[in-house]
């Protein structure tokens, strides 16, 4: 039942998403959707740990209620050229990416 509610909220752009920005590489990542801000906060450490293991620097996190169209956005042209692809959302995204 919870997953259905999250899907409905996400459809309308009311679900919570973690917005994670890093300076090296210069990227913005979106993780979610979550039902509440509390749930997003409770899950953020796992995403931070993964990014730290990949060598990300200067990680900043905020929580927003909206519906992202891309899950990973490369801010540097150099990062974009080194990236294999941008991750786009098509249809309903998987829960807790």
CA distances from 47 to 8, 13, 43, 92, 97 (A): 24, 22, 7, 20, 9
pLDDT of residue 86: 47
pLDDT tens profile 48-84:
999 999 999 999 999 999 999 999 999 865 545 555 4
Confidence band (pLDDT; 50, 70, 90) for 96?
very low
Asked whether 89 and 17 are in contact (CB, 8 A), the reply is no
Domain ranges of the chain: 2-82
Per-residue pLDDT of 17-47, as tens digits, reads 999 999 989 999 999 999 999 999 999 999 9
């Amino acid at each position: 039942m919870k997953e259905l509610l999250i899907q409905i909220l996400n459809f309308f752009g009311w679900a919570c998403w973690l917005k994670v920005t890093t300076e090296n590489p210069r990227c913005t990542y979106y993780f979610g959707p979550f039902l509440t801000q509390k749930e997003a906060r409770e899950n953020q450490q796992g995403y931070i740990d993964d990014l730290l293991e990949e060598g990300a620097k200067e990680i900043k996190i905020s929580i927003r209620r909206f519906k992202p169209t891309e899950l990973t956005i490369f801010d540097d042209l150099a990062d974009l050229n080194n990236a294999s692809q941008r991750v786009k959302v098509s249809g309903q995204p998987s829960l807790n990416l």
